[in-house]
Amino acid sequence: MPRKLSNALTSLSVKNAKPGRHADGGGLHLLVKKSGARSWVYRFMLNGRSRDVGLGAAAGLDAISLTDARDTAAALRLKVKAGIDPLEERDRKAAQALSEAQAAHVAGITFEAVAKAYIAANEGSWRNPKHRQQWRNTLATYVFPVIGEMPVGEIGTADVLTILEPIWQEKPETASRIRGRIETVLDAAKARGYREGENPARWRGHIAQILPARPRLTRGHHKAMPYEAIPEFFGKLHQREAVAALALEFLILTAMRTSEVIGAQWSEIDLEKALWTIPAERMKAAKEHRVPLSPRAIEILEGVKPFDSKWLFSGAKGGKLSGMAMSMLLRRMKQDCTVHGFRSGFRDWAAECTGYAHEVCEMALAHVIGNKVEAAYRRGDLFEKRQRLMTDWALYCTNGSAAGSEISPIRGAAA
């Protein structure tokens, strides 16, 4: 029967051992590689399996002494005797340490940090600068003071309600948008592994059970001037000597949106072809839109062209016209309608007073075709038909009829 080893190695033999495995007894081995590197290994048997556990270096600055290696091996023998697998225990402790480190990292990630990261990652896809600014402003004003410094993984329903309840009735539109933005940020946090469970800002089935629904008409519709009243109003507008009046005339004649008109540049205009091409990045549907210009619209542009600006309609300081300029003009003229409402007036006139097809009128407004099959087959933009439609609309606005009238001459250059 072979002699059982016990303390077979010495400090000198550890230092001078040749490449190979050298047993010290009790499962402790010195492993020497051809490169001269030395390390301690403890071999054990458990459940019929032989396994090795590395204990550390046996030479170098971080070397474990022979005595310490024996003490470690003795401690591991006791665990094996108790049925504990040292390798599984080590892996379990490593996993626990990693989990604790990750938890500590996540605990340090605040709602404000996640929100700012979300905005930075997504604002490039938000075409409206006002939308980007509203995200920042509403979070900074209402949200960050309450939960900005909280770990994003700890935010609950009570925290969300602390923000929403004071403004839910007083500022329902703002409160609704804030709730949606909190929900979006918390969803982003969950996707990144910073939180678990249900979203405490979710409306359906959650916040909706606590707070009353916002009235559907809180935002309201864009109040429109009846199309029958537009020719008379157009005559009054024609008498005004202001850039805002010219811009509003142009907006009515083209049936475009405020942002599209005040952001229009001369580089988009072809006077010879009577064409205004609005690039995709300025359109709500993110698709280039060609606008046929009626003779009256061309006259307006020729009247403002002498002004030295890249914008069709310049503001007082040379920049583009303010987004409120036309709304303020309507207020001064004591008109109970919105600028955007003139698009509705145009659409009602086209439906009630003309025989133009539905799709022609919808394309004139740059509306997206709702029917996907129809949209797939309709490749053109019906430009020639829309050109006739917009000419008839201009005749109606200036004379109250859709054909057979002359276009009134444009007034002098606007002040």
pLDDT of residue 144: 93
Residue 143 belongs to a domain: yes
pLDDT of residue 249: 95
Residue 3 belongs to a domain: no
Total residues belonging to the chain: 415
If asked whether residues 17 and 64 sit together in one domain, one would say: yes
3-state helix/strand/coil string of 120-174: HHHHHHCCCHHHHHHHHHHHHHHHHHHHCCCEHHHCCHHHHHHHHCCCCCCCHHH
- Asked whether 414 and 304 are in contact (CB, 8 A), the reply is yes
Residue 290 belongs to a domain: yes
CATH number of 288's domain: 1.10.443.10
If asked whether residues 117 and 266 sit together in one domain, one would say: no
If asked whether residues 365 and 234 sit together in one domain, one would say: yes
CATH number of 181's domain: 1.10.150.130
What is the H or E stretch that residue 231 is in? helix 230-238
Indicate the DSSP class of residue 340: T
Residue 383 belongs to a domain: yes
CATH number of 97's domain: 3.30.160.390
Angle at 47 between CA 43 and CA 49, to 5 degrees: 45
Q: CB burial class (10 A; 0-12, 13-18, 19+) of residue 415? A: exposed
If asked whether residues 94 and 18 sit together in one domain, one would say: yes
The fraction of the chain above a pLDDT of 70, given in percent, is: 86
Number of domains in the chain: 3
If asked whether residues 184 and 332 sit together in one domain, one would say: no
If asked whether residues 157 and 271 sit together in one domain, one would say: no
pLDDT of residue 407: 36
pLDDT digit string, tens, across residues 353-396: 999 998 899 999 988 765 554 444 455 678 899 999 999 999 99
Bridge partners of 320, per DSSP, are 314
Sheet-wide strand order for 38-46: 20-25, 28-32, 38-46, 49-57
Q: Which residues of the chain have pLDDT under 50?
A: 1-2, 217-220, 373-377, 403-415
If asked whether residues 235 and 123 sit together in one domain, one would say: no
**Final residue of a domain: which of 82, 103, 124?**
103
If asked whether residues 31 and 94 sit together in one domain, one would say: yes
Residue 282 belongs to a domain: yes
Residue 406 belongs to a domain: no
Query: b/e string for 102-112 if b means 16 or more Cβ within 10 A?
Result: eeeebeebbbb
- The C-alpha atoms of residue 199 and residue 347 are separated, in whole angstroms, by 42
pLDDT digit string, tens, across residues 115-129: 998 998 888 887 677
Question: What domain range is 140 assigned to?
Answer: 111-209
**Final residue of a domain: which of 103, 131, 146?**
103
Residue 220 belongs to a domain: no
If asked whether residues 46 and 28 sit together in one domain, one would say: yes
Bridge partners of 23, per DSSP, are 29
pLDDT of residue 380: 65
Query: b/e string for 34-65 if b means 16 or more Cβ within 10 A?
Result: eeeebbbbbbbebeeeeeebebeebbeeebbe
pLDDT of residue 6: 73
- The C-alpha atoms of residue 305 and residue 27 are separated, in whole angstroms, by 95
Contacts for 79-86: CB closer than 8 Å, 24+ residues apart: 80/44, 80/45, 80/46, 83/46, 85/46, 85/51, 86/42, 86/44, 86/53
pLDDT digit string, tens, across residues 296-305: 999 999 988 7
If asked whether residues 259 and 389 sit together in one domain, one would say: yes
- The C-alpha atoms of residue 300 and residue 250 are separated, in whole angstroms, by 7
- The C-alpha atoms of residue 228 and residue 244 are separated, in whole angstroms, by 23
If asked whether residues 20 and 58 sit together in one domain, one would say: yes
Q: Say how far residue 394 (Cα) sits from the centre of its chain.
A: 40
If asked whether residues 85 and 115 sit together in one domain, one would say: no
- The C-alpha atoms of residue 18 and residue 34 are separated, in whole angstroms, by 8
Tell me the whole-structure pTM to 2 decimals.
0.51
Look at residues 142, 163, 64, 152 and name the one whose alpha carbon lies nearest to residue 108: 152
pLDDT of residue 394: 94
**Final residue of a domain: which of 103, 136, 153?**
103
pLDDT of residue 289: 92
Look at residues 356, 369, 254 and name the one whose alpha carbon lies nearest to residue 300: 254
Residue 219 belongs to a domain: no
